[in-house]
């Protein structure tokens, strides 16, 4: 005879497999696990005669709730990572000129009358690439460690933020493959 924990585990695994794509994010998988656990608990209660429901009712209800949650959410993708990237983009779009001091080459002449950076988040370096019609510029932003932790990603797990941005190629890793913060 199977133990109840094995039955619950199999029911939850089957629920997740049937209701989520294999590419679902960690958050979607964790939440589907919770819906699957509710389905398993409901089916066990039904098996013990507690609910009076026909078999499968709890699973159907949990499936409906999961799909409603996914529809409200948008899909089963990685929204935590998208939120991290959106927060960084917002800071650069909003403060790219005002809170990031220009970092020019050593040969550049210092502009004594240029704007001063108030409440600095870091530095920005503008580089020109190519020649003629193919000439284009890129900006690289260097954020000060305390601004990174205490302002841009305040209240977030910095290790998780750094890992996500490294995976997306937004941060350049150090020689050890890790982000510096």
For residue range 99-123, what is the model confidence (pLDDT) as tens digits?
998 887 555 555 566 677 889 999 9
Give the torsion sign (CA, 153, 157, 159, 165): negative
- The reply to whether 19 and 66 lie within a common domain is yes
| CB-count burial class (<10 Å; 0-12, 13-18, 19+) for 136 | exposed
- State the DSSP H helix or E strand holding residue 122, giving kind and residue range, or none if neither: strand 122-129
Percent of the chain with pLDDT over 90: 48
For residue 88, is it within any domain? yes
- The reply to whether 159 and 100 lie within a common domain is yes
Residue 43: Cβ within 10 Å count: 22
- The reply to whether 162 and 136 lie within a common domain is yes
148: containing domain:
79-107+119-167
Whole-structure pTM value:
0.55
């Amino acid at each position: 005879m199977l133990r109840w924990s094995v039955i619950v585990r199999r029911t939850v695994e089957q629920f997740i497999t049937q209701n989520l794509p294999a590419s679902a994010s960690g958050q979607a998988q964790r939440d589907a696990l919770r819906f699957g656990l509710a389905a398993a608990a409901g089916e066990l209660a039904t098996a013990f005669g507690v609910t009076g429901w026909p078999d499968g009712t709890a699973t159907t209800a949990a499936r409906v709730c999961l799909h409603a949650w996914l529809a409200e959410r948008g899909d089963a993708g990685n929204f935590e990572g998208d939120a991290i990237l959106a927060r960084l983009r917002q800071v650069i779009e909003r403060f790219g000129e005002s809170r990031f001091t220009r970092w020019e080459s050593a040969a550049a002449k210092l502009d004594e009358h240029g704007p001063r950076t108030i409440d600095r988040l870091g530095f920005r370096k503008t580089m020109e690439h190519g020649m003629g019609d193919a000439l284009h510029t890129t900006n690289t932003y260097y954020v000060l460690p305390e601004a990174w932790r205490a302002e841009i990603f305040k209240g977030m797990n910095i290790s998780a933020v750094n890992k996500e941005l490294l995976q997306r190629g937004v941060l350049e890793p150090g020689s050890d493959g890790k982000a510096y913060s």
